[in-house]
Structure 1
Amino acid sequence: MDHENAQEGERVNLFDFPAPLLHEKDGGRYIGTGHLVITKDPDSDWVNVGTYRLMLQDRNSAGIYIGPGKHGYLRKQKYFENDRPMPVNIVLGSDPLIWFAASCPVPAGMSEFNFAGGLRESPVEVIRSDITGLPYPADAEIVLEGEIRPGEVKEEGPFGEWPGYYASPKSLEPFIRVKRILHRNDPIVSCANPARPPHTLTLLRSITRSAHVWEELEKAGVPEVRGVWSHKPGPRQFTVVAIKQRYPGHVKQAGIVASQCFSGGYQNRFTIVVDDDIDPTRIDDVVWALSTRCDPENDIDIQRRSWSSSLDPMIHPDSRVLMNSRAVVDACRPYEWMARFPEVAETSPELRRNVLEKYGRSFFGLR
């Protein structure tokens, strides 16, 4: 960024930039939805890039909601426990690949800038702020530089969130004191508009969550994972894992890890484990497995007091206990008598191939 324009001190005015009312019942105008929130761990060099929503408050402050357990939340706790303000850069408009990385459950200790650079196979060029000491992308359209101070809160919310509800009612949340704004001429502000699923954001989240849960299963030592899919209507709440069973307890191991790992644990509601003949992306296959290979009395485990947030519509508005329960469902053939489980009534690959060779694909309307 060439610092084409700068506002500092008394000249800072967030009202110079568009802040849309994305949903008719939002509690305010959200200037940050498809943006980057850049912070740094106070005890290391780990730079985190998140996408925590940002509501315009006044000329030089914006309320921020960071869900419990998120990396930004954990480092905010560290700063506040030592009565220190947390420096922060906000980027409104940048390379969409960086926003994609910021929306992924990237492992602790890894910067989303590095993650994005790996995907692009070239480093993300950054500039270090002399106000916050934090980096921001060189291609940034708008950069807000400031800090979040311990004990300072303002009303924030509600906001139409990704589960499809105006979850998290109006509440007192921290806010960013903006010290300087850097922006290009005619800057482009990027937005993301969550709503009742499925929509574009849920597809993105389905893809990224599925990949990261699969990776965490393998890192945890769960073998023979053949597929993972977080379904679009519930991209955090409804996850299906397909495995090839190799030993007693394999199904439960896969279900527990997928339901509680960092990538899959946040607000999870249902984790379903299926055999490797079930395509986890096909809801018809999943429902068939649930209907024919799951004995509810024996094959559904309930986990309690699990990681959730105020965005969970099933948490009572008066509750401050941001935990939920979740079901881990075994929808696989019983391991003990798997070899004697009834065969699937479908055409074998060999017979299908022989028939197609004999009559030709066109006979069956196939190309």
Structure 2
Amino acid sequence: MAAQSSSANSNKESPMATAAATQAPSSSVCDLRDWLKDVKRLEQLEQISGAHWNLEIGALTEIILERLSTPPAVVFDNVPGFDPGRRVLVNMLETLERTALTLNLPLDLKIIPLIDALRAKLRAMQPVKANVVKTGPIFENVERGDQIDLTKFPVPFWHKGDGGRYLGTAHLVVTRDPETDVENVGCYRVMLQDKDKVGLYISPGKHGKMHYEKAMKAGKTFPVAMAFGQHPLLYVASSQAVPFGVNEYDWAGGLIGQPIDVIEGPITGLHFPANSEIVIEGEIVPGETMQEGPFGEWPGYYASANRPEPFVRVKALYYRNEPIICGAAPFKPTIHGMYRSCLRAATVWNGMEQAGVPDIKGVYLPPPAQRFMIVVAIKQRYPGHAKQAALVACQCHAGAYLGRYVVVVDDDIDITDTNEVLWAICTRTDPALHMDLLRRTWSGPLDPIIPPGQKGLNSRMIIEAVRPWEWRDKFPATSAITDETRREYSTKWAKQLANVQARQAQARFRQD
């Protein structure tokens, strides 16, 4: 939830919009194009030329995620029917290295150390107030009225069953509380409706939805600003549970230790990044709706039917030369979701510690499950410790929304290894004793198992996959070799083991 806006005047004009192209640009703090240069140096950036906006960009994105264990970021250029240089970027945060780069963390961290480093940074960081500037690269092109044409950009039709082309999948939606003037930066799906209209769907309970509902109740037009290409850190900020009362731009600045340059929009007074690629300003008029959806959402299913939703009348369009649309259309979560897993795990871990749960050794959200499963490793200290950890994990703020399962394991289990977690569940639980249900917990409209008309509430299963406290010292010892033995013989037989691996890799290559 963002801090107070410096202006609530939705009709304010400024000479900035017409003179911007001749003014000096802002600094390059948090600029997507600088980030892409860094990714290229990591050899994790690819370009595909000539893919069509209609299904091909979406399908190729999904195929790359399926086939590569470390999928690169991909820029689609020369999209048929559009000016060269108008591009679409996908797979921004699908590796640990790019996630670490974005969050200003060491690039060599493995999953749990990265989560631990991130949560330490989140605990220690102080928000850095955004720097309001007069202009920036976003004003290289400024269009109003009849000039506005969002169809000039290669907006993908991501999934075959989508209700339309979705411009907003990895973006920023900036709104303001009409009662307090407090701004929020969220990430809510945006459908291209017309040259100067975009549909907006916001799930119930989200801050942007609360702002919208207050405005509609008061019969007021609702100002909105949106950015459709920006540094991925800002996308992270818009899509995470930033603490209430903290400005998302300030939160992002705190992570990198530098202020984010933002501009106060001349139409809405809302703030957007000065280095954005494409920005619109507009308004929602009370009572006006257009058909929106369905859309293939992050659980891997089409969410919501085609139904009336509010839309934004675009009053101004700003964009850089050769603009880049950031895209993160959800596919089956079995093939993506690394950064979401790390961010959510860090915030759940911190929430558990703040609630007083001791000796947490790790928290992980398996990417295929995303919000639906939380796995926690603890060193048991007292009776009921595992149950306490599970209850807090699924009901602290970061873990409460749209969950399903919480698994608590001992600290000898690698929680990033699904095989080990399943082994713990199957060998350290008796369902009658070690599994519990919580009913009427917080869900949402994207939960595929909840029937239409009953969205909003679901249940949670708690699984205590730990050695039972009462007889933990008598629980059978594992037969696996010790870490010390593994290291000793891996070193002694390193050459022969490497030869075996190489021969098997060559055999698999010939088979393929």
Q: Trace 1:151-170 onto structure 2 (pairs within 5 A).
A: 151-170=287-306
Aligned pairs (5 A) from 1:33-112? 33-44=169-180, 46-112=182-248
Task: Please report the TM-score for the alignment, with normalisation by the length of structure 2.
Answer: 0.66
Relative to the length of structure 1, the TM-score reads 0.91
- The Cα shift of 1:137 comes to 0.4
Is structure 2 residue 295 aligned with structure 1 residue 147?
no
8 Å CA contact 2:372–2:402 kept in 1: the answer is yes
1:327-346 equivalent positions in 2, closer than 5 A: 327-346=461-480
* 1:257 partner amino acid: V
1:322 partnered with 2:456:
yes
1:73 offset after TM fit, Å?
2.1
Contact 2:447 2:455 in 1 (8 A): no
Q: CA deviation at 1:160?
A: 1.1
- For residue 151 of structure 1, give the secondary structure of its aligned residue in structure 2: coil
**Alignment size in residue pairs:** 361
- Residues 1:261 and 1:71: Cα distance change in structure 2 (over 3 Å): farther
Q: Structure 1 141/325 Cα, relative in aligned 2: closer, same or farther at 3 Å?
A: same
1:236 counterpart SS class: helix
CA RMSD in angstroms comes to 2.2
Match of 2:323 among 148, 172, 187: 187
1:12-59 Cα distance to aligned partner (Å, 9 max, x none) = 322232221011111011111121111233454643222111001122
Give the residue type in structure 1 aligned to 2:255. L
Query: What are the superposed Cα offsets for residues 223-274 of structure 1, whole Å, 9 maximum, x if unpaired?
Result: 1111011001111111101111222222122111211223222221111111
Unaligned segments of structure 2, at least 5 residues: 1-135, 499-512
Match of 1:211 in 2: 346
Aligned twin of 1:362: 492
C-alpha contact (below 8 Å) 1:92/1:143 kept by paired residues: yes
- Structure 1 stretch 36-45 or stretch 210-219: which is displaced more? 36-45
Give me the whole-angstrom Cα distance separating, in 1, the residues matched to 2:415 and 2:394. 15
Tell me which of the two structures has the higher relative contact order, counting C-alpha pairs closer than 8 angstroms and 6 or more residues apart: 2
Counterpart of 1:263 in structure 2 is 398
Aligned position for 2:440: 305
| Residue of 358, 361, 371 corresponding to 1:226 | 361
Question: Offset of 1:360 from its aligned partner?
Answer: 8.3
Identity %: 48
Do 2:227 and 2:272's aligned partners in 1 also have CA atoms closer than 8 Å?
yes
- Contact map agreement 2:443 2:455 (CA 8 A) in 1: no
Query: Take 2:159 and 2:483, find their aligned partners in 1: how far apart are those partners?
Result: 51
SS at match of 2:303: coil
How far off its partner does 1:103 sit?
2.3
Alignment of 1:244 onto 2:244:
no
Report if aligned partners of 1:227, 1:279 keep a CA contact under 8 Å in 2.
Answer: no
Distance in 1 between the 2:440 and 2:140 partners? 50
Which whole-Å CA distance do the structure 2 matches of 1:80 and 1:131 have between them? 20
- Name the structure where helix makes up a greater proportion of residues: 2
> Secondary structure of 1:278's match?
coil
| CA deviation vs aligned residue, 1:109-138 (integer Å, no higher than 9, x gap) | 222212221222211111111211111101
Cα distance change of structure 1 residues 9 and 271 upon mapping to structure 2, 3 Å threshold: same
